[in-house]
Amino acid sequence: MRRSLSLLFLALNAAAYSQQKGTENLVQYVKPIIGTQRMGHTYPGATAPFGMVQLSPDTDTIPYEMNGKYNGDVYKYCAGYQYDDKTIVGFSHTHFSGTGHSDLGDFLIIPTVGDLQLNPGTAENPTSGYRSPFSHNNETAEAGYYKVKLDRYNIEAELTATTRVGLHQYTFPKSDNAHIILDLMAGIYNYDDKNVWTFMRVENDTLVTGYRQTNGWGRTRTVYFAMSFSKPIAEYGNKNFDKKQAYHGFWGKFDQSKNFPEIAGKQFRAYFNFKTTEGEKIKIKFALSPVSTANALMNMRAEIPGWDFEKVKSDVQNAWQNELQKITIQSQSKEEKENFYTSMYHAFINPITYMDVDGSYKGIDQNVHKADGFTNYTVFSLWDTYRALHPFFNLIQPKRNADMVQSMLAHYDQSAEHMLPVWSHYANENWCMSGYHSVSVLADAIVKDNATFDANRALNACITTSGFRRFDGLGYYIDKGYVPCDKTGTSVSTTLEYAYDDWCIAQAAKKLGNTKVYDEYMKRSENYRNVFDPSIGYMRPRYSDGKFREKFDVLSTNDQGFIEGNAWNFSFFVPHDPASLITMMGGKKRFVQHLDSLFTMELPDKYFAETEDITRDGIIGNYVHGNEPAHHVAYLYNWTDQPWKTQERVRMILKKQYRSTPDGLGGNDDCGQMSAWYIFTTLGFYPVAPGSDQYAIGSPAIDGAVLHLENGKTFTIEVNNQSDKNVYVKKVLLNGQQLNRLYITHSEIMNGGKISFYMSDKHGK
């Protein structure tokens, strides 16, 4: 209870704060529609900052398989919504933001009038089911608010949300035959057996509870709900689509399909009937819980006690304003502001709050736990987000980031494998992607003095995690110093990632004064050398016997020993020691040539097809911004004699990869990692190696900014003479003193003060 009240308090504070400081309304610049076309994989619906509920329209329900084979189209629908679609299937309550795989789409609701239809129908023939055509002309997507007209039914649908509760408001025409459909079969990345079990109880004529248990990307996942109607249900029922009903004794003594209050099965859809007058609004509060229907109801009552849609909308938008105004920027460009604040918005969606208002959540051990003294979060897409998102949180959301670390430590404590999370959500470890990058997040927080958690406990968790020999070639890595290519398919990238992660552990140990661990892991962090083939100048797959693999294509992403990247890109992946990398690769001059080639070469067509996650726009030369492994690469010029090329390149990437349009993202936003890159880069600096306290200086793309830090201090970024042409940094002053280095430190920012950039259209030395 306390927690939800404090959210409200924050929200009210936000409005007051905004008024008091005279901050402009920043919510106006958030365009959730950005990234919903093509490969951004964002969703346009309503969510609170880091909210458990993501209430958003789904424009198609794509089966994972067609005729027993993987259905390629399914990838498009990771967020449930594709801008080019003409119909809306309904509004579901959970969505990933920007991922390249999915799950979720729980509890799809659609209001209809006329004959009851209990199947979604097809996009080609919407009237074959319940879906409705819609038009972007009748669609509004704001932070925390979404509105659309369902053309077929002449129903206006409005959605808003608190942290744990979605609020629907449907404005009906007059009808004696109005329905609210609750489709418990619907889901994103759906397939026949995905629904393990669903359960629904009609508790009384306005309250329905239940749960959905799925075997999806998350192998064992259950979400509980409580659903309250603003108007009593006239009658209700369901249709069961199970292939076969199990034997249930004497259930036959009831007609279970109509007005029977307790339904369970693998596949069913429910409906609730109403009579409506012209313009009548029916509202639905839909609360989630990871623990129980009782807790979902508790969440509902705590967060939305009444039925005031406008108030809930205004509260959530105030909460967004409060988050957005942590950075105020100066820019003449509305598009720049839209890009910036939409990036802030996308950065503040994941990880999501994963506990009830009383702190209860289901752990990966399937038991119910209480978060003691922290907010528990889930959705850790760590291979993506350790790079810039968590460092961004350390800067601008340090309290939340420390709580995320606590959440990861709780996962570690509850994990059967005794590992920190790799890609986890909703009491599941999905084991997606490579490395054990949670150690980067922990080390970054420790090194940056944001360890409100027990730092030594965190270090021990890192050490244990990095010692789980049976994980993805790790035993070989420990024994041989590299993962042999005859043992795993991504042996080289995994070796490189382990080496970086080990350096992070060393940094944490150093900060905590543990020399022994520092020495051990610094040694491990040099393992990147073991997969470098000096004869060709690239990282290269290597067999157990030490020989490099002969058949090898440095441009191909397929089956070359790398994940989401080729040897060209991954050969730059030594973020923790660029200087040694440069030496290893032949010195600064040769390294610059190599970097230049990356950005300028003509990648033969055949390699495009391999880059799964990204559109052609996401590729610059052979640099693939839509995939994360190269996110630090443009900043590596800083370690050469030509740092101005960093300035030039990052400005080019900003322009090419981020636009304020539905198709404005060059690749998956990946839970905010792409957005965090944008924000850092726009502000003029970037964390090349999280776990270090340094930010490499780039080229600020706005006219100034103020960081309102959680410690009460402000850090002002003054940018003089910046423009699309004036991308080169002539001079930097830190608190009035000339800065004679190419980085600033975390503490320099956190102490408050001012950095002044002086920009030019000509590069300096």
Among 211, 476, 568, 678, binds a second copy (CB under 8 A): 211
Burial 374-395 (b: 16+ CB within 10 A, else e): bbbbbbbbbbbbbbbbbbbbbb
Q: How far is the CB of 200 from a second copy (least distance, A)?
A: 9
Measured CA to CA in angstroms, residue 212 lies from 117, 250, 520 at distances of 22, 25, 46
User: Does residue number 9 form part of the binding site for a second copy (CB under 8 A)?
Assistant: no
Q: Which is nearer to a second copy, 106 or 617 (CB)?
A: 106
User: Does residue number 207 form part of the binding site for a second copy (CB under 8 A)?
Assistant: no
Among 71, 140, 173, 203, binds a second copy (CB under 8 A): 203
- Residue pair 408/388 in contact (Cβ under 8 Å)? The answer is no
Report how far residue 55's alpha carbon sits from residue 53's, in angstroms, rounded to the nearest whole number: 6
Interface positions, 97-126, toward a second copy (CB under 8 A): 101
Nearest one of 669, 671, 675, 588 to 636, comparing CA atoms: 588
User: Does residue number 246 form part of the binding site for a second copy (CB under 8 A)?
Assistant: yes
Segment contacting a second copy by CB under 8 A, of 78-86, 143-151, 263-271, 632-640: 263-271
User: Does residue number 432 form part of the binding site for a second copy (CB under 8 A)?
Assistant: yes
x-marked contacts with a second copy along 484-513 as a string, rule CB under 8 A? ----x-------------------------
HSE on the CB side for 279, CA within 13 Å? Answer: 0
User: Does residue number 478 form part of the binding site for a second copy (CB under 8 A)?
Assistant: no
User: Does residue number 416 form part of the binding site for a second copy (CB under 8 A)?
Assistant: yes
User: Does residue number 8 form part of the binding site for a second copy (CB under 8 A)?
Assistant: no
Q: How far is the CB of 557 from a second copy (least distance, A)?
A: 16
Q: How far is the CB of 693 from a second copy (least distance, A)?
A: 32
Q: Which is nearer to a second copy, 418 or 741 (CB)?
A: 418
Q: How far is the CB of 752 from a second copy (least distance, A)?
A: 43
**DSSP 3-state of 77:** helix
How big is the CA angle at 360 (ends 355 and 361), to the nearest 5 degrees? 60
Segment contacting a second copy by CB under 8 A, of 21-29, 31-39, 243-251, 641-649: 243-251
Q: Which is nearer to a second copy, 470 or 762 (CB)?
A: 470
Among 197, 610, 731, 761, binds a second copy (CB under 8 A): 197
Q: Considering only CA atoms, give the Rg of the chain.
A: 26
Q: What are the backbone angles phi and psi of residue 311, rounded to the nearest 5°? A: -70, -40
User: Does residue number 423 form part of the binding site for a second copy (CB under 8 A)?
Assistant: yes
User: Does residue number 244 form part of the binding site for a second copy (CB under 8 A)?
Assistant: yes
Segment contacting a second copy by CB under 8 A, of 52-60, 200-208, 435-443, 520-528: 200-208
- Residue pair 81/56 in contact (Cβ under 8 Å)? The answer is yes
Q: How far is the CB of 255 from a second copy (least distance, A)?
A: 8
Q: Which is nearer to a second copy, 213 or 716 (CB)?
A: 213
Q: Which is nearer to a second copy, 247 or 711 (CB)?
A: 247
User: Does residue number 250 form part of the binding site for a second copy (CB under 8 A)?
Assistant: yes
Site size for a second copy (CB under 8 A): 56
Residue tagged 């494998």 (tokens): 417
Report how far residue 186's alpha carbon sits from residue 109's, in angstroms, rounded to the nearest whole number: 9
The 3-class SS string of 673-699 reads HHHHHHHHHHHCEECCCECECEEEECC
User: Does residue number 293 form part of the binding site for a second copy (CB under 8 A)?
Assistant: yes
Q: Which is nearer to a second copy, 54 or 360 (CB)?
A: 360
Q: Which is nearer to a second copy, 43 or 211 (CB)?
A: 211
Q: How far is the CB of 380 from a second copy (least distance, A)?
A: 14
Measured CA to CA in angstroms, residue 605 lies from 50, 75, 612, 628, 668 at distances of 40, 22, 14, 21, 21
User: Does residue number 294 form part of the binding site for a second copy (CB under 8 A)?
Assistant: yes
- Per DSSP bridges, beta strands 714-720 and 753-760 are parallel
Report how far residue 451's alpha carbon sits from residue 406's, in angstroms, rounded to the nearest whole number: 10
Q: How far is the CB of 477 from a second copy (least distance, A)?
A: 13
DSSP state of 350: -
User: Does residue number 217 form part of the binding site for a second copy (CB under 8 A)?
Assistant: yes
Measured CA to CA in angstroms, residue 722 lies from 342, 699, 704, 743 at distances of 22, 9, 9, 19
Residue tagged 């609170």 (tokens): 48
Q: Which is nearer to a second copy, 102 or 325 (CB)?
A: 102
Q: How far is CA 497 from the centre of its chain?
A: 20
- Residue pair 354/378 in contact (Cβ under 8 Å)? The answer is yes
Segment contacting a second copy by CB under 8 A, of 259-267, 300-308, 313-321, 459-467: 259-267
Q: Which is nearer to a second copy, 431 or 543 (CB)?
A: 431
Q: How far is the CB of 264 from a second copy (least distance, A)?
A: 5
Report how far residue 323's alpha carbon sits from residue 396's, in angstroms, rounded to the nearest whole number: 9
Report how far residue 162's alpha carbon sits from residue 658's, in angstroms, rounded to the nearest whole number: 29
Q: Which is nearer to a second copy, 2 or 418 (CB)?
A: 418
**DSSP 3-state of 243:** coil
Q: Which is nearer to a second copy, 117 or 256 (CB)?
A: 256
Segment contacting a second copy by CB under 8 A, of 178-186, 274-282, 286-294, 304-312: 286-294
Q: How far is the CB of 415 from a second copy (least distance, A)?
A: 8
Q: Which is nearer to a second copy, 22 or 250 (CB)?
A: 250
User: Does residue number 219 form part of the binding site for a second copy (CB under 8 A)?
Assistant: yes
Q: How far is the CB of 99 from a second copy (least distance, A)?
A: 11
How big is the CA angle at 648 (ends 643 and 650), to the nearest 5 degrees? 95
Measured CA to CA in angstroms, residue 94 lies from 11, 102, 429 at distances of 23, 11, 18
List all residues 6 or more positions away from 566 whose beta carbon is below 8 Å from its beta carbon.
553, 554, 555, 556, 557, 560, 607, 622
Q: How far is the CB of 7 from a second copy (least distance, A)?
A: 25
Among 8, 12, 123, 264, binds a second copy (CB under 8 A): 264
> Residue 85 has which token pair?
């679609």
Q: For residue 46, with 0-12 CB atoms within 10 Å meaning exposed, 13-18 middle and 19 or more buried, which class applies?
A: buried
Interface positions, 344-403, toward a second copy (CB under 8 A): 365-368
Contact set with a second copy (CB under 8 A): 64, 101, 189, 191, 193-194, 196-197, 199, 201-203, 209, 211, 213, 215-217, 219-220, 244, 246-251, 253-255, 259-262, 264-266, 292-294, 365-368, 416-417, 423, 429-433, 470-472, 488
